[in-house]
Amino acid sequence: MSAHPSAAVTASAPLDSAACADPCCAAPLPVLGRDVTVPLVTGGEVTYAALDYAASAPALQRVWDDVAAYAPYYGSVHRGAGYLSQLSTDLFENSRVTVAEFLDCRPGDQVVFTRSTTDSLNLLARALPADCQVFVYETEHHASLLPWQDARVTYLNAPRTPHQAVETLERALADRDPYGPALVCVTGASNVTGELWPVKELAAAAHAHGARIVLDAAQLAPHHPVSVRELDVDWVAFSGHKLYAPFGSGVLAGRADWLQEAEPYLAGGGASKRVARRADGGVDVEWHTTAARHEAGSPNVIGVYSIASACKALTEAGFDALVSRERHLIAKVREGLAAVPEVRVLSLFGDDAPRVGVISFVVDGWNSSHFAAALSAEYGIGVRDGLFCAHPLVRTLLGSEPQDPGECGAPEAEPGERSLNAIRVSFGAGTPNEHVERFVGAVRELVRDGAKWQYRTESGRCVPAV
C-alpha cells in the first residue's frame, strides 16, 4: 500500500493529564464509565466508583477512540485483496510489533495473540515437550495453576518471603530429573495481595537448573513495565481486559522453539500453510512455523489493536509517573484500613512488600459478601468478594482466622467446612482520588455504624432485600 494504513485510523486525543508528575493529581489516563451514575438503595444517585480493576479494568478512552476510528475500516485479516483487508492486516501485524516493543522482547521471540491469560497459558501447556515437569506455586491464579494437568506437576507451598520463594524453587529444581525438560510458572503480581514476586531471581534459579520460566503478567503489566529481556523470562502472558483493552484478546510472547515444534493449538484456517488430499483419502497438512501456527480462525483484529493502543497509551504516559501515583493511592487505602481495628489486610510477604493496586481484606463480624454488597448498594462502590480464582492461596491466608459467616451471602461450603471469603479492592491508572477516598470512608462507616439496609442471599449472592 502506498500510505501507511494506521494513518487512516489514527484518532487518539492527547492524554489530558498524563504529564502530571504530582501523585495527588487526577487519574492520568481517562477511562470509559468515569461519569456513570448508579442508584443507591438509600435514595439518590452517585458516580460509580469502579474498584475492581483486578478482574477487568475499564477501557481507556484512548483505546475506545482508536477502536472507534478503525471500526469503519474493519476487514478480514490476511490474504484479502481488498484495501480494507490489507489495511486490517497491516494494523494487525503492526500491533504485534507494538506489543513486542512494549514487552521488550528479544530477537526471535514470537508474539502470539490469544483470548486471554488463561488461553495463553493453556496454549503453552499444549506446547510442552513430552515428559516435561512443571513447577508452580499454590499461590497462583487458577489460570496459571490449572493448565498443567497433563504434565508432571510439582505444586510448591506458599512462601512467606520473596527469599523463601526463591529457596523453595531452588530446592524443588535440585531434586528434579536433570535430563528432562522443565518449566516454572510464576505470577508477577498476586491477584489477591497485590504483592510483587521476585521474578528476575526466580528466572535465574530456573535457568541455573536447566528449566524455563513463564511469567503470568496479568496483574503486573497494567501497573509496571514488563521487560522479557531484563527479567530473563522465557515467556510472558497477559490479558487485554486487565490492560484497559476489554475486547477479548490476550498475549503469549517469548521463545519460539517449543511453539514451533508443537501441534497447533487449534486446527483450522490461518494455522495451515498447505493442505492436500492424499491418494489413500487422507489429508496432508503443512502448518505455519510463525505465530500464525497457533492463531487459527479469523483473528480478533479489534481486540489485538486495542491491546496495542493500550500499550502505547501506558508507554506514553510513563510508568514512572503511573507507579508513583499508584503508590500514593495504595498508601492511602492501606492507611485507611489500618485505622479500622476490625479490618485485617491479607499478605504473604508482610506490610513492607512492594505491591500493585490490589488489596484484599476481611472484616471481623462481617461476611465478606455482605460487606461488598453494602459497599455497592449504599455507597456506589464496586469491589470483588470471594476467593478470586485463587482458592488455595486465599484458603491459606484465611485458614487460621475465624470468620463470622453472618446472615447474608455466605458462600456454600462443604459439610463441616467453614465458609471463607474475602473482599478485594483494586485500582489503577484510571482511578480518581475521590473513589479511593470514598471507599476508605465507606469502610469506616460500615464498621462503625453497620449497614443501613437489610440484605438477603439470592443465588449465592448477597443482595439488598426488597
d(C-alpha 266, C-alpha 354), whole Å:
39
CA distances to 125, 227, 385 from 54, in Å? 24, 21, 12
Three-class secondary structure assignment of 101-116: HHCCCCCCCEEEEECC
Question: CB–CB of 350/385 below 8 Å?
Answer: no
Which residues are the active-site residues?
389
Q: Sign of dihedral through CA atoms 450, 455, 456, 458?
A: negative
294 half-sphere exposure, CB direction, 13 A CA radius:
29
Here the cell at position 53 is 480493576
Residue closest to 301 by CA, chosen among 217, 233, 367, 245: 245
Cα–chain center distance at 93: 23
Is 166 strand, coil or helix?
helix
Strand spans (E) along 24-158: 37-39, 45-47, 49-50, 110-114, 133-137, 152-156
d(C-alpha 429, C-alpha 6), whole Å:
26
